[in-house]
Structure 1
Amino acid sequence: MEKHEQLLISLRKVIRAIDLYSRKLSKDAGLTGPQLLVMKQIAQLDGAIARQVASAVNLSPATVTSIIDRLESRGLVQRVRDTADKRRVQLFLSDEGKALLDSAPQPLQEHFIQRYQTLEPWEQTLLLSSVERIASMMDAEELDAAPVLTVGQIQESSTH
Structure 2
Amino acid sequence: MSDNIQEVLDGCLFFSVKRLDRALDKFTEEAFREIGMSHSYALVLFILNQENGKRYKDLANILCIAPPSLTKIIDKLASRDFVTISRDGRTKRVYITDRGREIIPIIGEVFHKTRQEFMEISQPCDFNNLIDQINHLTNQLK
> Which residues of structure 1 form unaligned runs of 5+?
133-140, 143-160
**Cα RMSD, aligned residues only:** 3.8
Aligned match of 2:81 in 50, 57, 75?
75
> Which residues of structure 2 form unaligned runs of 5+?
none
1:46-98 per-residue CA deviation (whole Å, 9 max, x = no partner) reads 111111111111111111111000000000001123xxx44433211111111
1:63 is the counterpart of 2:69 = yes
Q: 1:126 to 1:23 in 2, by over 3 A?
A: closer
Report deviation, 1:17.
Answer: 6.0
What is the TM-score of this pair, normalised by structure 1? 0.59
Matching residue of 1:101:
104
Q: Does the 8 A contact of 1:21 with 1:108 survive in 2?
A: no
1:91-115 per-residue CA deviation (whole Å, 9 max, x = no partner) reads 1111111111221211882122586
Indicate the SS of the match to 1:29: coil
Matching residue of 1:3:
7
Q: 1:22 to 1:88 in 2, by over 3 A?
A: same
RCO greater where, 1 or 2, for CA within 8 Å and sep 6 or more? Answer: 1
1:119 is the counterpart of 2:126 = yes
Q: Does the 8 A contact of 1:38 with 1:64 survive in 2?
A: no
Aligned residues: 128
Which residues of 2 match residues 1-160 of structure 1 at below 5 A?
3-4=7-8, 15-16=22-23, 18-26=25-33, 28-81=34-87, 85-104=88-107, 105-106=110-111, 109-111=114-116, 112=118, 119=126, 123-124=129-130, 128=134
What is the TM-score of this pair, normalised by structure 2? 0.66
Comparing both structures, which one devotes a greater share of its residues to helix? 2
* Separation of aligned partners in 2, 1:22 and 1:73: 20
Q: 1:31 to 1:6 in 2, by over 3 A?
A: same
Q: 1:34 to 1:6 in 2, by over 3 A?
A: same
- Percent of aligned pairs with the same residue? 18
